[in-house]
Amino acid sequence: MTGLDEGRPHAPAEPDRPQRADARRNVDALLSAARAVFDRLGVDAPMRTIAAEAGVGVGTLYRHFPQRSDLIKAIIRREVDECVAAAAMLGGTLPPGEALASWVQRLVDLAGTKRGLGPALHSGDPAYQSLPDYVQGQLAPALRRLLDSAAAAGEVRDDVDAREVLLAAMRLAAPASNGEVAEARRMVALLIDGLRFRAAGR
């Protein structure tokens, strides 16, 4: 897959003088727009369309994401980072069992992020080889903390491995990437019900 299939513009780059807050807003707008455009038009959608939807110039897009793969990886990483942040938030506001169940449902949302990105992520492009390690490396510790809290409260069994539960949950959430969100939510809920079987407090 080519990163710049519709051609990178030859016009002079836009002045690189934005405030840091403006740059962050531009990146956020580009990632949100790219996810929506890829979902609607597919991963080969014109980069100019993404820039227009984000309300920025195409030069701004290429300054932040020189290759299409850079943009796709950033979408996935942002969603993963938000999942990690959600684990901490849920763990601090809900009872342990509810926090775990709610967070695993976030994996369905993460799987939904891949809608439209499949052709790129499964293309064999070496640019994406590091993504699985990043996803597991960030999510497994977050899940481990939720599992430990729920097990200590007697809400789930204490003999499960976080990485194995994560892999199982992500596989069960996979239908969301094809639009089958309700099915994915039911399946991951069943997984959590299974973790409650033979829990100390039940």
Contacts of 77 (CB under 8 A, 6+ apart): 131, 134
What is the maximum span of the chain, computed from C-alpha positions, in angstroms? 67
pLDDT cut 90: percent of the chain above it: 74
Residue 8 inside a domain? The answer is no
Whether residues 95 and 175 share a domain: the answer is yes
Domain tally, the chain: 2
Residue 78 inside a domain? The answer is yes
| pLDDT bucket at 178, cuts 50 / 70 / 90 | confident
Whether residues 172 and 101 share a domain: the answer is yes
The residue range of the domain holding 77 is 73-196
pLDDT tens across 42-74, in order? 889 999 999 999 999 999 999 999 999 999 999
Kindly state the tokens that stand for 138: 């960030």
Residue 84 inside a domain? The answer is yes
Residue 14 inside a domain? The answer is no
What does the alpha-carbon distance between residue 67 and residue 166 come to, in Å, rounded to a whole number? 30
pLDDT tens across 102-115, in order? 999 999 999 988 87
What does the alpha-carbon distance between residue 145 and residue 152 come to, in Å, rounded to a whole number? 11
pTM: 0.82
Q: What is the three-class DSSP state of 153?
A: coil
What's the whole-number mean pLDDT along residues 157-176? 94
pLDDT tens across 2-22, in order? 343 444 544 444 444 444 888
